[in-house]
Amino acid sequence: MASPDSSVAPLPAARPDGGARVNDFSIQVATANGSGSQSSNTVLLRAIFQMGVPVSGKNLFPSNIAGLPTWYTIRASRDGWIARKKEVDLLVAMNPETARDDVLGLSAGAAVVYDAPLALAELRPDLVYYPVAFDALVEPLTKEPKLRRLLRNMAYVGVLARLLDLDLGEVEHAIEKQFPGKPRARDLNVAAARAGFDHAATLEKRDPLVVRRMDRTAGKILVDGNAAAAMGALFAGVTVVAWYPITPSSSLVETLIGHLRRYRIGPDGKATFAVVQAEDELAAVGMAIGAGWAGARAMTATAGPGVSLMSEFAGLAYYAEIPAVIFDVQRVGPSTGLPTRTAQGDVLSTAFLSHGDTRHVLLFPGSVEECFTMGVDAFDLAERLQTPVFVMTDLDLGMNVWMSDPFPYPARPLDRGKVLGKDDLDRLGGFARYADVDGDGIGWRTLPGTPHPKAAYFTRGTGHDEQAAYSEDPRTFERNLARLEKKLDGARDLLPAPVREGSGEAKLGLLAYGSSDPALREARDQLRREAGLDSDYLRVRAYPFSREVREFVEAHERVYVVEQNRDGQLAALLKLDLPAALVPRLRPVPHLDGLPLDARTVSDAIRAEEAR
């Protein structure tokens, strides 16, 4: 079969509105890991953002430093949808290894900018092709082959700017932001973008995609969830940070260290914080717990494999009632299990981490702003409840760049929880560490070093009485467990309440959490517009569940629980919590391919179920 030459390829048949598709498309850039495309893609994303158009970016990268294929998708959405979109409207094919499959996977009518030697136009007749000889474009810019490789990627930004009618000035501004204090890198990259821009003037525009200025991003910020959580910890006044590097959590701590060095070292060079890179996650969480015991605001950050290692310590801290904050930036599977792909796979195991009747407080931020606010709140909650608090983000939220309103300065003062000092002990004449004097299940604690002869108590795991003395007495043990249950039950009212959307009148309920939120909101819209299905939506923000969760299930005939895992982990927790009569209302909607959730997956699944 003869393949048509690109220059005579038929124009795409489908142009629904007969004209331009303004601010509503997605771009996929296919490159090799480590080729510097991350900077180019950020510049492209930022330039669209600066044009006032809502935008989101998803980096789909391999567990590798250099060489393996990487894809970056950018979605511009005039309606403000920022979930991933599965359909690609414009492909930038730079990676010979994947180019063929990338092209074959497109829908008819999509546009392809590609590196000319790849000769992709022969593959299919139903696409719009823009071959560009990138090597020739960047050749005049530098003699260094390594630099040329990087500049090729900035050149495609210039090509896209011309094709999409992006303001070149915004591209240059974005480049400036990308290379602060590096004039040479900035200039070279600007030159590369310009070379692409100029060259693209010779291409005949044959696709409908354009960017037009809007005003929907004014005042907004672009940030990833890890940076947001790091700021949360900073403004929570964290003092001890112990960690062990693991993707996708490392950048959280690395960003935090930068902030601490900048903002928490006095003029005398003395630090109001301690950071230790521990030997493993057991030690990292042990340090956080030791520090929390001694009164510091202490944290660690990790991913699933680290959480597994922290299991025994989590149980100890639960029973000894010690505050600590653990950020779990979830990813797929143990060992070499897609470590750079996203998932909500640690929910069930973390809720009950360790052995015995342990149960932990989990927070589920659903946006970068909540990575910040919950990053602050987690420290207050850990000290108020005297227990470890897990902030369950994920790779999509943590490592991808999201558009957001600027973060609010914390409204409340730090809550340091129930701590007795020397004066209190003078007044009280003593205390019982694990006595429920206030009826909320939470005892008062003292910090080591408190200069009072009655301040000390002996901290140990499960077997202790109200005075913290060793005890194996069955009644004492039962009483202690009952008090802990009361404490966790009371936590429901202290934790972030769920967020409701919808009239409350629909028969259909959608329930989700974390990074699924943007896809859920868009899916609701699709269900209403495309299938006439009205739904209410509840976004759960914490475990133990708020009492509102049960009310929501009670008020809906069917509740679709959408999660980024196979087994319905949150649904399993709901089943334990809800009265048996309500359990059949829950319908799990799993998503488990390691890619960020998109709206279409959700609405398709629900429509199919509803049609049965």
Partner 1 sequence: MATPATPAAPRTNRLGLSVVEYKGAKSTLCAGCGHNAISERILEAMYEMGVPPERVAKLSGIGCSSKSPAYFMSRSHAFNALHGRMPSVATGAVLANRELLALGVSGDGDTASIGIGQFVHLMRRNLPILYVVENNGVYGLTKGQFSATADLGAKLKTGVQNDLPAIDLCTLAIQLGATFVGRSFSGDKRQLSAMLRAALAHRGTAMLDVVSPCVTFNDHEGSTKSYAYMKEHDVPLHELQFVPAFEDLAVEYDPGTTVDVTMHDGSHLRLRKLEEGYDPRDRGRAMSRLVEAQAGGDVLTGVLFVDAKAPSLVDLLNLVDAPLATLPAEAVRPPREVLDALMDALR
Query: Judged by CB, which is closer to partner 1: 196, or 398?
Result: 398
Comparison of 264 and 479: residue with beta carbon closer to partner 1: 264
CB atoms within 10 A of CB 142: 15
Closest CA to 480 of 467, 498, 497, 495: 467
Rounded least distance, CB 377 to partner 1, Å: 13
Nearest approach in angstroms of CB 455 to partner 1 is 6
- Is the CB of 137 or the CB of 288 nearer to partner 1? 288
Q: Output 128 or 425, the one with its CB closest to partner 1.
A: 425
Taking the complex as a whole, how short is the minimal distance between the CB of residue 46 and partner 1, in angstroms? 10
Min dist. Cβ of residue 242 to partner 1 (A): 7
Work out how close the CB of 477 gets to partner 1 at its nearest, in angstroms, rounded to a whole number. 17
Q: Which is nearer to partner 1, 280 or 593 (CB)?
A: 280
- Of 59 and 564, nearer to partner 1 (C-beta) is 59
Question: Rounded to the nearest whole angstrom, what is the least distance from the CB of residue 449 to partner 1 in the complex?
Answer: 5
Q: Please give the C-alpha separations between residue 505 and each of 23, 107, 424, 530, 537, in angstroms, as whole numbers.
A: 33, 38, 52, 19, 11
Of 335, 338, 340, 358, which is closest to residue 348 (Cα–Cα)?
358
Task: Kindly state the smallest distance separating residue 302's Cβ from partner 1, in Å.
Answer: 14
- From the list 163, 112, 135, 73, the residue with the least C-alpha distance to 120 is 112
Between 209 and 316, CB nearer to partner 1:
316
- Does residue 148 contact residue 138 with C-beta atoms inside 8 Å? yes
Coil vs helix vs strand at 249? coil
Nearer to partner 1, 3 or 272 (CB): 272
Q: For residue 390, give the H/E element and its range.
A: strand 388-394
Query: From CA 277, how far away is CA 264, in angstroms rounded?
Result: 18
Residues 390, 326 contacting (CB under 8 angstroms): yes
Contact 85, 57 (CB under 8 A): no
Is the torsion defined by CA of 30, 161, 599, 372 positive or negative? positive
Least distance to partner 1, CB of residue 110, Å: 32
With respect to partner 1, which residue has the nearer C-beta, 140 or 453?
A: 453
If we measure between CA atoms, which residue out of 225, 231, 228, 232 comes closest to residue 248? 225
| Closest distance to partner 1 from the beta carbon of 41 (Å) | 17
Is there a contact between 143 and 22 (Cβ–Cβ < 8 Å)?
no
> With contact defined as beta carbons under 8 Å apart, do 172 and 187 qualify?
no
- Residue (402 or 560) nearer to partner 1, CB: 402
d(CA 87, CA 110): 9
Closer Cβ to partner 1, 238 or 392, answer by number:
238
Please choose, from the candidates 317, 305, 111, 100, the residue with its C-alpha nearest in 3D space to the C-alpha of residue 208. 111
CB of 275 to partner 1, least distance (A): 8
Closest C-alpha among 3, 9, 2 to residue 207 = 9
Minimum distance from residue 442 beta carbon to partner 1 (Å): 19
Residue in the block written with tokens 């796979």: 345
What is the rounded distance in angstroms from the CA atom of residue 516 to the CA atom of residue 147?
38
Nearest to 229 by CA among 339, 413, 393: 393
**Peptide bond before residue 248 is cis, with ω within 30 degrees of 0:** yes
Q: Which is nearer to partner 1, 30 or 234 (CB)?
A: 234
CA distance 423 to 426: 5
Residue 598's Cβ-count burial label (10 Å; 0-12, 13-18, 19+) is: buried
